[in-house]
Structure 1
C-alpha cells in the first residue's frame, strides 16, 4: 500500500527538514512525534523519526518505526537500509542482511546498502559472500572508491594479499588522498615475498608525501615549560583487547614514576576491560577518539609531552597525521608496526640488533633506529592461560604441527614450504587456526593449495578459532610444534605458543617482520630454532619432530624458561628503554 500524505503533513515534513538542517534536533523530534501520532499513515514522518531514534541509540524504537514505514512504502530503499542498520545494532544479523538485500533487489545501484551488507557479511566471516556482493557492485559502478576499498579489505581478510594490494592501488587511483587505503596498502606489502625491502621503503616515502601526511604551515601549539619529570606520551588505537596491549602494559606498569610521568592517548572506538585496566596504570589518560588531528595535537602539546610514542604505525586506527603536526619535540615509533613510517616528523624507531641488524636496514628507515640492548619488547602472558599438559603426540602417536597466525601470513609460498615438510614427515598433521577459516570458500582455497603440494586434505585441520583467550590458548594442547610464518613472522602467536610449551620453528629473513622470530626465540635461549633457509627450516622441524622426549621436557620447563628470559623481564627492559629516553631528552636540551 502506498502512503498518502496530506498537504499539511508535507508542509510539516519540509519544516522538520529545515529544523534538522539548522541542527535543531529536539524541536524536530517533538514535531515528528506529534505528526506520527496525528497521521500514522505519513511514511516520511515515520522514516525521519526512525533516523533520529537511531542516532539517539534507540535501535528497537527505530526498527519499529521503519517497519511502519515499509508497511506503507515496501520499496523505500532508504528505509530498508536503515532497518538493516537498526537490526544489526540489535544483533539480529540475518534479518539485517535480509533488509539490505531487499534494498538491493529494488535498486542494485544503491551502494550504501551494498556496502552495509558486505560489512555485515565480513564481520560474520562470510567472506566469499561479501566479496561477491562487492564485485557485483563494482560491475555497476567501476569508479566507486568505497566499493573498491571494501573489496580490498575483504581480500586481505581472506589472506589474498597480492590481490588486496592491487585493489588498494585501484582505490588510490580513484582517490589519491584515501588515508586508510594508503596505510592498508603499506601494511599489506609486508605479507607477500614478492616485494623487496627497497620497494616497500619507497612506498612508505611516497605515502609520506601524500596529502594526509603533509604538515600544516607552522605548528602553533602552546607548550608549558618542562617539568621535573620527563613526560612520556603513548598514542595508540590498541589500548584494548589487542596484541599490542600485551607488550605495552608491562612497560606502563614498570615505568619509574620518580623520573617519568606517563600519559596515554587512546584512539579507541570501543573500550573494553583491557582499556579500563590500562587506564588505571597511566598517570594521565586522554580519550582522543573523535578528535580532529589538529585538536589531538593541540591537547598533546598542552600536556607538555616531551617524548611522544606512536604504537601503531600504518595500521588500523593509527593517528600518524597527528605526529606530522609536531606536538612533541621528540617523536618515536615502537611495537605496533614492523617498519619505518616514512615520515620526516618521526625521529626514532625502537628495535634491537636481532630484529634489525645494524647495516643496510638503517638506510631504509626515515627514522634513526635505537636498539635496546637485549629485546625490543617484553611480553605479558595472559592471566587466564590454562595449565600445561604433555604434548599430544604421546596420545596421538603422530606429530601435529600448528600455526595460529593471521591468515594473511599464510601465503602460497608458505603453504608450499609446509607442504614440503608434511611430505617429509609422512604421518604428521597440520592444524591451522584463524578466524577467516569459518568461510567455506577460504577453506576450499587453502585445502586446494595443499592438494597441489601433494598433501591430502585429511592431514590438514582448519579451525576458525574460539571466542575467549583461555579457549584460544587451550588449542595449543593440540599442537606439538608451531611453525612460524614467512616473510611476516608471528609475534604474539610466537609468545603464546612458547608460554603454552610449544616450540616454534622460525625462518629468518632480512627485514624486521621476518626477524621477529629470531629476536624472540634468541632472547628465550632458543636460537637453534631459528633457521636461515627453507631447507634448514624443514630439517629443523623434522629433527624436533623425531625427538619426542625433548618435546616433553621442553613443555614441562617452558614457563620457567620464559620467566628467566628478557622477554618477561618487564623491569629490566623498561629500565633499558628509560635509559635511552633519558639520553634523548638530555641531548635535546643541550
Structure 2
C-alpha cells in the first residue's frame, strides 16, 4: 500500500513538472497511463489533469474529469481544493454555453471556499455567467447581488470618513484590469486622452499585469498613472485616498480580475460603475451606473441597485485601436445566397437564440449561418457544439463553424447580415460588424445590458433593425435578407455612418459625460 502511495505521489510530481514546462501532451499521457496501470487516483492528480485538459482546450474531457473528481472526493474534507474544482467547472461550463449550470457551480465554490476574498471572486464569476441565462429574472439577479453584499459584510470593511478636500480641478480616477488590448479599451480612450484638462485631472489605476501598446497610449494620455496590479484591495484604497480623488469610476463590474471590493471602503465621494460591464454591481456603495437613454428609459431599474446615469446619446464611444481592412463586396451577390453570422462570445449563444436563428434559416431558402469563436476552433468544443445544434434540429449542412484567427475582421466580408445574441448582446463585436459594413439585427431587451444593440443602432439611425420580440427579430432578418439593394447600400455606407454618429463622436461624448460627473458631485455636496 505504501509503495502504491509513493508511486502515486511520484506520478503526480512528474506530471506537474511537465505541466509547468508546458509539455501538456506528455503530462496528460503520463497521468493517463498511470491511472490505467494502477487504478489509483488522487484529488490533486485529477485536479492537475483538469488543468492540463483546460490548457489543451479539451473542454468536454475537462468537464468529465471534474465531475468524476467531485463524485470520488466530495467528502474528502479538502474544502479549498474542492472550491477550486467547482470554480474550474463553472468556468468551463460557461465556455460551453451552459450558463445556468455555470452559476450553480460558482455558487458551490463560494460555499466551500475558505478564503473570504476569494469567495467574492467566485460570486463575481457567478454574476457574470448569470447574464447569459435566457429569461433570467429580477429575483434571480437580486439574490446573487444579496449574496455578494453578504460576502462583503463578512470582510468587516471600515469605510473611510467623509472627505473635506477641495481642488481647482475635479479629480477623476478610473480603475480596471482591462486597460490593454482588450474589448473594453476600445471604448475608454476618450476618458484618458480627450477629457477637458481645464476642468478635470485624470488618474488611471491600472490592474493590468502585462501592459502593452494600448496600455502605453492610455497611460500617456492621462495626468497620473498608478500601477496597482500588485496591490491588495486595502492598498489600492489607500492610494486612491491619498490622491484625493473626487470621482472614482469602476470599468470592470463583475468581469475578470475586478477590484469591486475597493468601493466598499468608500475611498471617493462619488463612486460610479459602467462601460466595462453590462449589469449592476449590486453594491450599495455605488452612486450610479453609466447608461444612456436607449439602454435605460428610466433612471431606475429593478435589475439594478444603482441609479442609472443616462447620457443623451450613447454611453459608449467607440475608438478602435485596430486598423480595419477595406469593406468587401456584398457576399450574397457573389455566392447567390445570404450568409447570416455571429462572431459573439459563444457563451452568449443560448438555446433560445439558436431556435430563433433556426427559424430564420428555414424562412430564407438556401441561406447559411457563419459562426466564429475560439471554442469552435477546438476539436472537443466543435464536437460538443455540433451535438448541441443537432439536438435542436439545426440544418447542419448550412452552418459553418470557424475558430479564432487574427484575420477575423476581414472575415466579416464573408457575412451579409449579423445576428446579435440576447439577453447578453454583443458590444465590441457589434461595432466591428457595423464598421465592416454588416448590418446587425438585435432584440431590444428589457434592461440596460440587454439593450446595447438597440443603443448602437438607434445612434446610427437604424432602429428598424431592432426587434421588440423574437418574432419581430425573425421578421426583420428575413425582410432585409430579401433586399439586396438595401444590403448593398448599407455595405457601402455603414462605416461612414459610424464615423459621423454619436458612437464615435469623442468630443460630444466627453462633454456629456463630464456634465454627468459635475452633476454627481454637485448632488453629493448639496443634496
The higher-RCO structure (CA 8 Å, 6+ apart) is 2
Q: 1:196 aligns with which of 137, 148, 155?
A: 137
Q: Give the Cα separation in 2 of the matches to 1:163 and 1:254.
A: 43
* 3-state SS of 1:482 partner: strand
Matched with 2:17 is 83
Matched with 2:65 is 133
Matched with 1:31 is none
Deviation at 1:113, TM superposition (A): 4.4
Deviation at 1:535, TM superposition (A): 1.2
Q: 2:262 aligns with which of 317, 322, 333?
A: 322
Q: 1:297 aligns with which of 209, 227, 237?
A: 237
Deviations, residues 536-575 of structure 1 (Å, cap 9, x unaligned): 1111101111111221111111111001110000111011
Structure 2 runs not aligned, ≥5 long? 1-5, 76-81
Matched with 2:456 is 520
Structure 1 contact 388–501 (Cα < 8 Å) conserved:
yes
* 3-state SS of 1:76 partner: helix
Q: Give the Cα separation in 2 of the matches to 1:444 and 1:80.
A: 31
Deviations, residues 498-547 of structure 1 (Å, cap 9, x unaligned): 00000000011211222111111100111110001111111110111111
Deviation at 1:119, TM superposition (A): 2.9
Structure 1 contact 423–455 (Cα < 8 Å) conserved:
no
Deviation at 1:212, TM superposition (A): 6.4
Matched with 1:179 is 120
Tell me the C-alpha RMSD between the 2 structures: 2.4
Structure 1 contact 352–370 (Cα < 8 Å) conserved:
yes
Is 1:541 aligned to 2:482, yes or no?
A: no
Matched with 1:167 is 105
Matched with 2:517 is 581
Matched with 1:147 is 85
Residues 194, 535 of structure 1: CA spacing in aligned structure 2 closer, same or farther, 3 A cutoff?
Answer: closer
* 3-state SS of 1:280 partner: helix
Matched with 2:295 is 355
Residues 99, 212 of structure 1: CA spacing in aligned structure 2 closer, same or farther, 3 A cutoff?
Answer: farther
Between 495-504 and 138-147, report the one with greater CA deviation.
138-147
Is 1:370 aligned to 2:309, yes or no?
A: yes
Residues 233, 112 of structure 1: CA spacing in aligned structure 2 closer, same or farther, 3 A cutoff?
Answer: farther
Q: Give the Cα separation in 2 of the matches to 1:123 and 1:306.
A: 43
Residues 164-563 of structure 1: pairs in structure 2 closer than 5 A? 164-175=102-113, 177=116, 178-211=119-152, 214=155, 216-219=157-160, 225-358=165-298, 361-466=300-405, 468=406, 471-563=407-499
Deviations, residues 42-80 of structure 1 (Å, cap 9, x unaligned): xxxxxxxxxxxxxxxxxxxxxxxxxxxxxx999624632
Matched with 2:78 is none
* 3-state SS of 1:446 partner: helix
Residues 48-59 of structure 1: pairs in structure 2 closer than 5 A? none
* 3-state SS of 1:430 partner: strand
Q: Give the Cα separation in 2 of the matches to 1:330 and 1:214.
A: 22
Is 1:124 aligned to 2:74, yes or no?
A: no
Q: Give the Cα separation in 2 of the matches to 1:115 and 1:171.
A: 15
Deviation at 1:496, TM superposition (A): 0.6
Deviation at 1:146, TM superposition (A): 1.3
Structure 1 contact 349–367 (Cα < 8 Å) conserved:
yes
**What TM-score, normalized to structure 2?**
0.91
Q: Which has the larger radius of gyration?
A: 1
Structure 2 contact 412–433 (Cα < 8 Å) conserved:
yes
* 3-state SS of 2:203 partner: strand
Residues 318, 213 of structure 1: CA spacing in aligned structure 2 closer, same or farther, 3 A cutoff?
Answer: farther
Deviations, residues 72-99 of structure 1 (Å, cap 9, x unaligned): 99962463254134312xxx44334446
Structure 1 contact 213–324 (Cα < 8 Å) conserved:
no
